[in-house]
């Protein structure tokens, strides 16, 4: 293997960079998951994770990826043949709908354009038509990682309320939790799905369900088969800090440190840091003269920016060039966006210099690949980061 000097810039929209204090905690000796030390760890984590979701209700933690949390949300609340209403915001909304169908649910997928968020008006109209309340849940993605679009969850809750519909509201926050303001209780969400490998700054391997009282009540009559994902057993064991089966002990040790770091910085400051990085990135992209995949500025993601290259230019070839020259990984386009867009992750553990370094690496790649662009995008980003937004930054907003 050829050695590449310097640190690798992992600028994909997850998994994200894992801070050294979290890596150190994960590397500590494994403790007895039935012993008193683990019980104390479990009780602390299960309590301190709640404010990150904006809830006072229980949060269930699984040794699994975010896909597992998707499945857990569905199998604990629904029965075979139930209809769920979903909205096509991009690749991950599509995958969740496929999973629902495999579980024997009727997934009704409202069409989207992969450049916009959830249309709360369309949700409201469809629910208003459903007078017999055959739709049992509405499932949406808060931050669509494939497109860099953030949907308005509060507006979707208002749509359910306006339609006077009793459907559960299930929300995927895998790429937004700990990066973008989110309020499980205030927005009336019934199940929030999350993963460890993005805003929580951990490696992949933990997933989460934050659950409302309404969701817990639905679980009592839900008939989809479940064992590993069962909330009842999990919550019974969690009451004393333990788990009904072997948990990811060392990842939980890391999670305790991640929660300390988020608390020390303060969630409002965390969100502001992500907002600033996103604004700087968009100012840079606008200066280059490229389109952002997200069309509506009100829906711009603060966790990532998906950039559309001009016709005739390969996003994958650009990414490969940047990796070879600068030892930096960028996110690829997914589904119909394959080779059409590249995605810049700016979430998790990062600061302003990492943002400018990332953008400098992209601009060098654009030059080498002879992709038409206006030089000087990094300077436009620096103006935003320094608090002096120039014309390019204003155009990006």
Please report, for the domain that includes residue 303, its CATH number.
3.90.1150.10
Positions of the chain with pLDDT lower than 70, given as ranges: 1, 388-397
Cis peptide before 278 (omega within 30 of 0): no
Determine, yes or no, domain membership for 33: yes
Tell me, what's the pLDDT at 4?
86
Tell me, what's the pLDDT at 388?
63
pLDDT tens digits, residue range 328-346? 999 999 999 999 999 999 9
Determine, yes or no, domain membership for 154: yes
Determine, yes or no, domain membership for 11: no
Same domain, 238 and 300: no
pLDDT tens digits, residue range 139-194? 999 999 999 999 999 999 999 999 999 999 999 999 999 999 999 999 999 999 99
Same domain, 157 and 51: yes
Same domain, 95 and 192: yes
Same domain, 204 and 350: no
Overall domain count for the chain: 2
Determine, yes or no, domain membership for 3: no
Tell me, what's the pLDDT at 103?
98
Domain that holds residue 385: 266-396
pTM of the model: 0.96
Same domain, 227 and 286: no
Determine, yes or no, domain membership for 10: no
Same domain, 308 and 176: no
Tell which of 263, 291, 320 closes a domain: 263
Same domain, 80 and 138: yes
Determine, yes or no, domain membership for 110: yes
Q: Is 43 annotated as a binding residue?
A: no
Q: What is the CATH number of the domain that holds 71?
A: 3.40.640.10
Length of the chain: 397
Determine, yes or no, domain membership for 160: yes
């Amino acid at each position: 293997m050829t050695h590449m000097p310097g640190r690798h810039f992992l600028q994909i929209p997850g998994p994200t960079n894992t801070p050294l204090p979290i890596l150190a905690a994960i590397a500590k000796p494994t403790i007895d998951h039935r012993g008193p030390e683990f019980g104390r760890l479990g009780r602390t984590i299960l309590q301190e994770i709640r404010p990150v979701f904006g809830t006072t209700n229980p949060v269930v933690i699984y040794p699994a990826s975010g896909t597992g949390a998707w499945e857990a949300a569905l199998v604990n609340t629904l029965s075979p043949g139930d209809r769920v209403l979903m909205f096509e915001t991009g690749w991950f909304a599509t995958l969740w709908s496929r999973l629902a169908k495999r579980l024997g649910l009727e997934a009704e997928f409202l069409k989207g354009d992969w450049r916009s968020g959830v249309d709360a008006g369309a949700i409201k109209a469809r629910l208003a038509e459903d007078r017999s309340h055959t739709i049992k849940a509405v499932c949406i993605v808060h931050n669509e990682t494939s497109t860099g679009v953030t949907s308005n969850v509060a507006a979707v809750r208002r749509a359910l309320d306006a339609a006077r519909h009793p459907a559960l509201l299930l929300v995927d926050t895998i790429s937004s939790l700990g990066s973008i303001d989110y309020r499980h209780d205030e927005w009336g969400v019934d199940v929030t799905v999350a993963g460890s490998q993005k805003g929580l700054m951990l490696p992949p391997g933990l997933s989460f369900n934050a659950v409302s009282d309404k969701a817990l009540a639905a679980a009592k009559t839900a008939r989809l088969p479940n064992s590993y994902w069962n909330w009842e057993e999990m919550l019974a064991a969690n009451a004393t800090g333990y788990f009904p089966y072997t948990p990811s002990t060392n990842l939980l040790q890391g999670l305790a440190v991640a929660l300390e770091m988020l608390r020390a910085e303060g969630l409002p400051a965390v969100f502001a840091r992500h907002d600033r990085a996103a604004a700087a990135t968009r100012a840079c992209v606008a200066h280059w003269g490229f389109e952002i995949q997200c069309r509506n500025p009100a829906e711009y993601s603060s966790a990532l920016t998906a950039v559309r290259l001009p016709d005739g230019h390969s996003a994958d070839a650009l990414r490969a060039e940047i990796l070879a020259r600068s030892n930096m990984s960028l996110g690829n386009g997914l589904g119909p966006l394959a080779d059409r867009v590249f995605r810049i992750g700016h979430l998790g553990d990062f600061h302003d210099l990492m943002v400018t370094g990332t953008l400098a690496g992209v601009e060098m790649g654009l030059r080498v690949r002879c992709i038409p662009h206006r030089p000087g995008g990094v300077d436009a980003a620096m103006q935003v980061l320094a608090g002096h937004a120039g014309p390019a930054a204003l155009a990006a907003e």
